[in-house]
Amino acid sequence: MTKNVIVKALSEGRKSLLEHEAYELLSSYNIPVCKHKLVSSLDDAIKAAEEIGYPIVLKIVSPDIIHKSDVGGVKVNILNDEQLKEEYMLLLKGVKSNVPNARIVGVLVMQMAPKSVEVVVGMLRDPTFGPTVMFGLGGVFVELMKDVVFRLAPLTKEEALDMIKKIKVYPLLAGFRGSKP
């Protein structure tokens, strides 16, 4: 299954996975992810929300949109079917208005995660060093704060843990001022 996700992305000329594909990859390595379902209609979104349970998040899925929140492609804390109907339509309208030529794969319906610190994990193939892993502060802060570290792949567990400890905001991840780690 893992190989299929990567092969599909490469066959489509993509250099990155779509969000639901990344979750599939993580799940295949027994890394927990929030409940989610990719849908292509409002009716399917309602069914998915009922299966997942409210509150939920809606996220646009498109190979042409990296920063979803910048184009109206994320709707959070949706509490019921009525709100879902409204937010689903607003999401599609906003994305089509902001990125009219974007190829829309669908909408990801996700379990709303508790408020926490968002992190980013990435990989790239450096022309000099080869496969490289990145870890850092995620979300809107990844570009603003540039609080990321890089290591050569493959990583040992100890190296991965060291990467986590190297970012400036590590105290937030560790449980700063009584917050949960």
pLDDT in tens, 74-124: 999 999 999 999 999 999 999 999 999 999 999 999 999 988 888 999 889
120 phi-psi bin (left φ>0, alpha ψ -120 to 50, beta other): beta
Class of domain 36-113: alpha beta
Sketch the domain layout of the chain as residue ranges.
1-33, 36-113, 119-178
Q: What's the rounded Cα separation, in Å, for the pair 141 and 118?
A: 9
Residue 172 has pLDDT above 90, yes or no: no
Pair 57, 112: CB distance under 8 Å: yes
Q: What is the pLDDT of residue 140?
A: 77
How far is residue 46's CA from residue 19's CA, in Å, rounded to a whole number? 20
- Mode of pairing for the β-strands spanning 130-137 and 119-126: antiparallel
pLDDT at residue 8 is higher than 80: yes
Q: Is the pLDDT of residue 166 over 80?
A: yes
pTM of the model: 0.85
DSSP 8-state secondary structure symbol assigned to residue 54:
S
Q: What is the rounded distance in angstroms from the CA atom of residue 125 to the CA atom of residue 19?
A: 20
Give the number of other Cβ atoms within 10 Å of residue 63's Cβ: 17
> CATH number for the 119-178 domain, one of 3.30.470.20, 3.20.20.100, 3.50.50.60, 3.40.50.720?
3.30.470.20
Percent of the chain whose pLDDT exceeds 90? 77
